[in-house]
A and B are shown apart, each in its own frame.
Chain A
Amino acid sequence: MGSTAFDPLTFGYEWETFLTGKNMVPIKSDEVKRLGRKLQAEFPETRTGTDHIRGLDSKFLEIRSGILSDYQGLDGRTRETIGAIKRVCREKDLVFFPLGSHPLFGKAAGYHLHVGSVYSLKVAQDLARSLTPYVPLIAAFMANSPFWGISEPPGGFKSYRVKYFADWCSTVIVPVERGLGQFVWGNDVLVKGIEKPTVEIRVMDSPLSVSLLAEASIFIVALTLNLAERHGSGMMDRNTYMEYVVNRRRAARWGLQALFDWRGERVPASDILEELVGSVLPAARKLGLDGFELLEKMARKRVTQADFLLSLYDGRDLHVYTRDLGNLLERERDPFADFLEEAPELPVVEAESAEDMILSHITIETPFRLLYESLEFPYDFIEDVVEEFRKRGLVKVSRAPEKGILLTRIR
């Protein structure tokens, strides 16, 4: 591919954010649309607008950076836009609430980064393929959705959004072989070429820290640049793919505390991040960023924004907590960066095997479909594991003409 893949190097983001009333309930779609139009008029180079929140009669305020080329532009434009949003929120008694999920409603809010300009779809596909193994790491350090209404326990996952495939808007990548290119909606990394000359990384939770947003964006752009220097493979290696799929789940659950399967070894996600931060720094410098201060600290302490949110939660009523959190985010400039200074180091957590992940999803007459849709592991992998469970007497397998395979856990 080489760095000539980019003609020229550009990037930009779409940042889905909640706008709520003073009761922390997302406001009506029309009000969000009005604010979006106002922001776009104020910053014409951006494309800020709204996006759909699946299952909710409201919309995200989607902050769109427009086309950027360096860190200064990214940071400056973001802070200007946030300043304007917060001003309007103060005037209208609204709360700007950028989290990966709304604690009360769930709902997946993402941060999508486009890297371009790549005019060859073949090259874009190779780039997407090269980025695939790094997706779980990106999901891990951007985890920011540890709450998902009352149907999930707080902190059960550091990123419920990634667990739930961002309401099917950031799903496990469907491998496409070279020569058989197709547009596949919703992949964690999306070849956007038919619409925009970019590769879009969609796995990130919407961040609450503007500083992290800027650092993470430059990190990913620099990583993409580094990967473009290498020759991409036309095929997805099975082991690499399975590592990606399983690590993705671990990242969703444990964030930077996760232990990854990495090139055949067990390696802490935090170690991989620490190493990469060093290796992408030269490319980041070319983009105007001198160091990854936050990412380095996060890697060292294995702490994410999700850990920050959980550190504030003491089991009280979720609505009470959400309102108090809203106050904090309105009051403080970058509470996550401050938290990082004092946060304790978290331990690496032992990795759950793919087999255990599958077994833990089987109860009574669990449809195979549900198992697949909960994990998005390849069909044949699940089938092989289930057959092994059956042989070991762990699971009973039955067939139902309307529902397909049903699995019941025996012990």
Chain B
Amino acid sequence: MIESVEVEKGEASLVRLRTRIVGEAHPALKLPPGLKGRYLWVERIYRGRLKPRKGEFVVLTHEELKGLLEHGREPLVPGRAFKEDVDADGHSEVNFEGDVLRFSVAPHRGATLRSLEYRGKEFFMGKGEYLNVNYIELGGVDDHIESGKYGGALSSLKYEYEVDEGEIRLTGRAKGFEIEKAINLERDFPLLTVRTSFKARKKAELNYWMRMAVRGVPGRSVILLPARDGLVRERYHFQYLDSLFRGLEISRMSLPGILVLDEAEGVSLLAVFSRLPENVAYRSYGTFFTVEPAFERAQLKKGEVSQCVLGLIPGTFYSSSRFHLGVFDFLEEAMRNKLVSSLVTVESRAPELLLKGKRISYSRIGEFGETHLWKLDVDTEERDLEEASLLIGGESYGIDGL
């Protein structure tokens, strides 16, 4: 609210407003502690009649509030993790930096994986779309336990957290569950793992689904969903009415994963889940699209734990079928050019990369439910990949660039 106004006249007036902070500009934005009731002088240029008067309300920008907010980078693990408000919501996110991958998590807002950056390409961060009276979409991956409705109890939950070398562990309580999240970034391999556990405080039904809001480039973003009757390929087109009336829902997944391709920037992102989702929904919005895997409801006894793991692996090449999804990239390391690749397959035998006439076997990272996660790294040049192919269970698959 404006307490006083000073105006320097000219064609456009420079206006100095003495403001008192009375509350959030949107229910989804939480005012940082200690801000309410504080006074702040703000200088703005106004042309004509929009100039506010004493007693009226104004919305303050992040820039204007900067002086009252905690600022700058606060190191948590030197060279590895730091606190900083990267999405300009007034609260610091916890940020991790690996050799090729960076991520941010927002403990104050549902422990949302807010940002994932690979080689300078941001997968999630939105500009803040006002989707509802209680929800602003900033992009990212968050958790839900209420049916069909985003922005529910978990999205606004505040988590406690601890950080060490390459991992952040977050804890929160909501709706009869103790929730633990552990987000881990591999140091020398582009793999981010998000492990989410729900422990029932009493007998409860868990209806878990996650929502990945991915920045979309109309016509140039593609999502690949492996279904039992073939690979479903959906290209992102902004259509306003789409988000109101329909989305694509696939309840016949053959693999617990999806592949997101950004043809505009030549980057792909493999997302793997530890369980086969009951269905995966896709919806398009103005500047982003969502992928929403929903898992079968679980009846939990008191003290029982249900866990879901999400693996996120970016790359610049990819390979896909209804039986496998994979990404490939080259990392420079001590003057060597290293090809790294991750695959998720239905087939339990190790896949092989046929490269320059040689067969190179993948090594197992782990089992994700009924499926298998593999990795490979080998010294080679990018041009060699053009002729390469994947051998999985006696079938040969090509490798595509973007």
**Chain B residue contacts of A58, Cβ below 8 A:** 133
Given A168-B241, A370-B237 in contact, is the A317-B27 Cβ separation under 8 Å?
no
Given A56-B132, A150-B286 in contact, is the A22-B218 Cβ separation under 8 Å?
no
**Chain B residue contacts of A326, Cβ below 8 A:** 57
Known: A319-B59, A328-B49. 8 other contacts (CB 8 A): A27-B133, A57-B132, A149-B286, A150-B130, A317-B59, A319-B26, A327-B53, A370-B237
**Residue A185 CB within 8 A of the other chain:** no
Among A43-51, A262-270, A361-369, the stretch that binds chain B is A361-369
Per-residue interface assignment for chain A, residues 353 to 374, with 1 indicating a CB less than 8 Å from any chain B CB and 0 otherwise: 0000000000111110010011
**Residue A152 CB within 8 A of the other chain:** yes
Q: How large is the interface on A (under 10, 10 to 19, 20 to 34, 35 or more residues)?
A: 35 or more
Per-residue interface assignment for chain B, residues 55 to 85, with 1 indicating a CB less than 8 Å from any chain A CB and 0 otherwise: 0111111000000000000000000000000
Other-chain contact of A331, B25, B26, B53, B134 (Cβ < 8 Å) = B53
Per-residue interface assignment for chain B, residues 228 to 254, with 1 indicating a CB less than 8 Å from any chain A CB and 0 otherwise: 000000010111110111000000000
Given A25-B26, A168-B241 in contact, is the A152-B286 Cβ separation under 8 Å?
yes
Query: Most A CB atoms within 10 A — which of B134, B240, B241?
Result: B240
Question: Is B241 touching A164 in the complex (CB atoms < 8 A)?
Answer: yes
Residue of A nearest to B51 (CB): A324
Given A150-B286, A323-B57 in contact, is the A332-B132 Cβ separation under 8 Å?
no
Per-residue interface assignment for chain B, residues 19 to 62, with 1 indicating a CB less than 8 Å from any chain A CB and 0 otherwise: 00011111100000000000000000011111011001111110
Q: In the complex, A400 Cα to B220 Cα: how many Å?
A: 18
Query: Most A CB atoms within 10 A — which of B25, B218, B244?
Result: B25
Question: Is A366 touching B57 in the complex (CB atoms < 8 A)?
Answer: no
Other-chain contact of B240, A106, A332, A366 (Cβ < 8 Å) = A106
Q: How large is the interface on B (under 10, 10 to 19, 20 to 34, 35 or more residues)?
A: 35 or more
Residue of B nearest to A361 (CB): B237
Given A56-B132, A151-B287 in contact, is the A327-B24 Cβ separation under 8 Å?
no
Other-chain contact of A151, B56, B219, B240, B244 (Cβ < 8 Å) = B240
**Residue B127 CB within 8 A of the other chain:** yes
Chain B binding surface, main DSSP class? loop
Q: How far is the CB of B293 from chain A (nearest CB, A)?
A: 21
Q: How far is the CB of B286 from chain A (nearest CB, A)?
A: 2
Question: Is B132 touching A55 in the complex (CB atoms < 8 A)?
Answer: yes
Q: In the complex, A56 Cα to B134 Cα: how many Å?
A: 9
Q: How far is the CB of A377 from chain B (nearest CB, A)?
A: 16
Question: Is B133 touching A312 in the complex (CB atoms < 8 A)?
Answer: no
**Residue A340 CB within 8 A of the other chain:** no
**Residue A335 CB within 8 A of the other chain:** yes
User: In chain B, residues 115-135, which have Cβ atoms closer than 8 Å to a Cβ of chain A?
Assistant: 127-134
Other-chain contact of A314, B47, B59, B238, B241 (Cβ < 8 Å) = B47
**Chain B residue contacts of A319, Cβ below 8 A:** 25-26, 59
Question: Is B24 touching A57 in the complex (CB atoms < 8 A)?
Answer: no
Other-chain contact of A54, B23, B127, B129, B244 (Cβ < 8 Å) = B244
Question: Is A312 touching B49 in the complex (CB atoms < 8 A)?
Answer: yes
**Chain A residue contacts of B209, Cβ below 8 A:** none
Contacts from A to B (Cβ < 8 Å) = 22-28, 54-58, 104-106, 149-152, 164-165, 167-168, 311-312, 314, 317, 319-328, 330-332, 335, 363-367, 370, 373-374
Q: In the complex, A367 Cα to B218 Cα: how many Å?
A: 13
8 A-B contact pairs sorted by A residue (CB < 8 Å) = A23-B23, A23-B57, A149-B129, A151-B286, A165-B241, A312-B50, A363-B219, A364-B263
Question: Is B57 touching A22 in the complex (CB atoms < 8 A)?
Answer: yes
**Chain B residue contacts of A373, Cβ below 8 A:** 239, 241
**Chain A residue contacts of B245, Cβ below 8 A:** 168
Q: In the complex, A335 Cα to B49 Cα: how many Å?
A: 9
Question: Is B235 touching A365 in the complex (CB atoms < 8 A)?
Answer: yes
Question: Is A167 touching B244 in the complex (CB atoms < 8 A)?
Answer: yes
Question: Is B243 touching A28 in the complex (CB atoms < 8 A)?
Answer: no
Query: Most A CB atoms within 10 A — which of B130, B134, B285, B287?
Result: B130
Q: In the complex, A373 Cα to B238 Cα: how many Å?
A: 12
Query: Most B CB atoms within 10 A — which of A22, A327, A373?
Result: A327
**Chain B residue contacts of A26, Cβ below 8 A:** 133
Q: How far is the CB of A59 from chain B (nearest CB, A)?
A: 11
Question: Is B50 touching A328 in the complex (CB atoms < 8 A)?
Answer: yes
Q: In the complex, A324 Cα to B13 Cα: how many Å?
A: 15
Question: Is A363 touching B218 in the complex (CB atoms < 8 A)?
Answer: yes
Residue of B nearest to A369 (CB): B239
Query: Most A CB atoms within 10 A — which of B50, B52, B287?
Result: B50
Question: Is A327 touching B56 in the complex (CB atoms < 8 A)?
Answer: yes
Residue of A nearest to B219 (CB): A363
Question: Is B50 touching A23 in the complex (CB atoms < 8 A)?
Answer: no
Residue of A nearest to B232 (CB): A402
**Chain B residue contacts of A320, Cβ below 8 A:** 58-61
Question: Is A332 touching B49 in the complex (CB atoms < 8 A)?
Answer: yes
Q: In the complex, A58 Cα to B134 Cα: how many Å?
A: 10
Q: How far is the CB of A160 from chain B (nearest CB, A)?
A: 9
Q: How far is the CB of A58 from chain B (nearest CB, A)?
A: 5
**Chain A residue contacts of B219, Cβ below 8 A:** 363-366
Q: In the complex, A105 Cα to B137 Cα: how many Å?
A: 12
**Chain B residue contacts of A25, Cβ below 8 A:** 26-27, 133
Q: How far is the CB of A411 from chain B (nearest CB, A)?
A: 15
**Chain B residue contacts of A105, Cβ below 8 A:** 130-132
Residue of A nearest to B25 (CB): A23
Question: Is A23 touching B24 in the complex (CB atoms < 8 A)?
Answer: yes
Q: How far is the CB of B23 from chain A (nearest CB, A)?
A: 7
Q: In the complex, A370 Cα to B130 Cα: how many Å?
A: 24
Query: Lowest 3 CB-CB distances: which A-B pairs, in order?
Result: A151-B286, A363-B219, A364-B219
